[in-house]
Amino acid sequence: MRYLEAGKKHTVRFTLNGRVVEGDGEPRLLLSDFLRQTLGAFGTHVGCEHGSCGACTIQVDGKAVRSCLLYAVQVEGKTLNTVESLATPDGLNDLQAAMQKHHGLQCGFCTPGILMSLTQLRADEPDADEARIRDVLSGHICRCTGYDGIVKAALDVFGKV
């Protein structure tokens, strides 16, 4: 049994955006804080910290999940992708470019989480329709756009425009 004591730092190692990373944290350290504060990967945003707002959504082993409802010690050996995985050496990927084109963001706070949910959805359900896209987006709160621009960007990338 793996047993990690409170109040002590434990080494965690996992694959982040194709690269093996390592850092130390107490059991109570949220994965979202480990990414930002221990590893300095600030792409993942932190909003409500109780699983409701969706800003911290990342991919863990091929699932879109809340990084504020995971502890860093839980992802030992797993494969994670964050918004930093999306852009290519040439610039924005197609989903990011579509968000820009369709005004799918204004302040950008919710955007990293939304991009990661839509990335997972595209991998699992490339034929998702507007109803399904809206259902998935219901797990995110955006206070700027009214969601229409985000939906249009997703529909564009899913080939539904």
Where on the chain is the footprint of other proteins (CB under 8 A)? Answer: 1-7, 26-28, 30, 33, 48-52, 54, 57, 63-66, 68-71, 73-74, 117, 121, 135-136, 138-139
Q: Which is nearer to other proteins, 37 or 97 (CB)?
A: 37
Q: Kindly state the smallest distance separating residue 145's Cβ from other proteins, in Å.
A: 15
Q: Which is nearer to other proteins, 95 or 121 (CB)?
A: 121
Q: Which is nearer to other proteins, 78 or 97 (CB)?
A: 78
Q: Kindly state the smallest distance separating residue 106's Cβ from other proteins, in Å.
A: 20
Of the candidates 150, 130, 131, 125, the one whose C-alpha atom is nearest the C-alpha of residue 140 is: 150
Q: Kindly state the smallest distance separating residue 89's Cβ from other proteins, in Å.
A: 29
Burial 49-62 (b: 16+ CB within 10 A, else e): eeeebbbbbbbbee
Angle at 59 between CA 82 and CA 156, to 5 degrees: 80
Long-range contacts of 90-95 (CB under 8 A, 24+ apart): 94/157, 95/119, 95/122, 95/153, 95/154, 95/157
Q: Kindly state the smallest distance separating residue 122's Cβ from other proteins, in Å.
A: 13
